[in-house]
Amino acid sequence: MERKLVYDLPTRAFHWVFAGLFITAFTIAQTIDDDTAAFSWHMLAGLALGPVLLLRVLWGLAGTRHARFSDFVLAPGELRRYLRGIFTGDRTSWAGHNPASSWAAVGMMGLALAQVLTGWLMASGPDPEAFEDLHELSANALIILVGLHIAGVALHTLRHRDMLGRSMVDGRKANVTDGEAIRSPRSAFGLLFIALVAAFALQLWNNFDPGQRVVRILGTTLQLGEDGQPHAGPAGDEDAKGARHDDD
Ligand code: HEM
Ligand code: HEM
């Protein structure tokens, strides 16, 4: 059967940028000591996730049919039916997100937002330790959900002999009717998404001072390491910068 277009380019671009930044931040957190200079990259990758999530939320309200949150199947009964179907051989297929991946998508986006917020509070607030446990807890919940998500995609592939994963690459799925397919991949919006994320990443890079291990963003100075004094204040606050320098 001909595979039909269901996921537009902004959704697919979001998926892989989100996965890439998450894997980068998580791998660095697990492998690099948090008082080394290289740990700054953990925070830069994590911070870059902020606008990525914001743009996805906007696209969830204004995107094409299967990108919209209103298309996600979140009714608990549908999730139960889907999970039972794994054992009973139910072959119902979904043009957009199935119930399990709808829940996984909402969970992953929500937990990633919690990571960025708690990370931000640790790097800008007077008491970084207050958010440390929460940051680690949501990171662990997130990695479990990501594992379940990948296992779910693999299980679907084996059960239905259908390469579901390809739908996040070329946007197409099998067993989709003409009425359920979308007409345009919205390529211009996809390219705009990539350009906006790249512009933010460049901005982060330009405002990153590897010597002091700080980044200035949205009028706040974030301390990207454990060896300096955590500091919040207006960007370019020379007194505070001097004070931290004296401490070093
Ligand atoms: C080999 C790896 C992966 C494959 C093949 C894959 C595939 C997919 C597919 C096919 C969907 C849509 C599911 C459906 O139509 O029911 C999806 C959604 C999603 N996946 Fe993955 N995924 C992978 C890895 C990841 C990773 C590592 C993350 C996060 C760190 C992730 C996060 C998400 C999110 C957030 C969604 C919802 C996307 C949206 O609605 O914008 N995925 N994935
Ligand atoms: C995808 C986003 C993120 C993920 C998955 C993530 C994950 C983690 C994990 C697993 C740890 C624990 C490392 C350990 O075992 O000690 C950690 C630590 C840390 N993260 Fe993140 N993080 C993210 C974003 C951020 C952001 C945006 C910031 C700050 C701007 C940040 C700041 C920190 C700091 C300061 C620590 C060290 C805490 C400590 O002293 O143990 N993270 N992160």
Report CA torsion sign: 218, 220, 225, 226: negative
In a domain, 126, yes or no: yes
Would 233 be classed as within a structural domain?
Answer: no
Q: What is the mean pLDDT of each successive set of 10 residues along the chain, which is 248 residues long?
A: 94 98 97 92 97 98 98 97 91 92 98 97 89 96 98 92 94 95 98 98 96 92 68 38 31
Distance (Å, whole) CA 222 – CA 125: 9
Strand, helix or coil for residue 144: helix
Q: What is the pLDDT of residue 153?
A: 94
152, part of any domain? yes
Residue ranges making up the domain that contains 53: 4-209
Question: Which atom of ligand 1 is nearest to 97's Cα?
Answer: 16
Residue 18 lies in a domain: yes
pLDDT of residue 128: 83
Q: How many domains does the chain have?
A: 1
Question: Is 69 among the domain residues?
Answer: yes
Q: Is the CB of 164 under 6 A from ligand 1?
A: yes
What is the rounded distance in angstroms from the CA atom of residue 102 to the CA atom of residue 132? 29
**Domain membership flag for residue 112:** yes
28 in a domain, yes or no? Answer: yes
Regarding pTM above 0.85, the answer is yes
Q: Looking at residue 41, what is its pLDDT?
A: 96
Name the closest-CA residue to atom 15, ligand 1. 97
CATH number of 192's domain: 1.20.950
Judge whether 121 lies within some domain.
yes
With a CB cutoff of 8 Å and minimum separation 6, the contacts of 17 are: 52, 194, 197
Ligand nearest to the CA of 43: 2
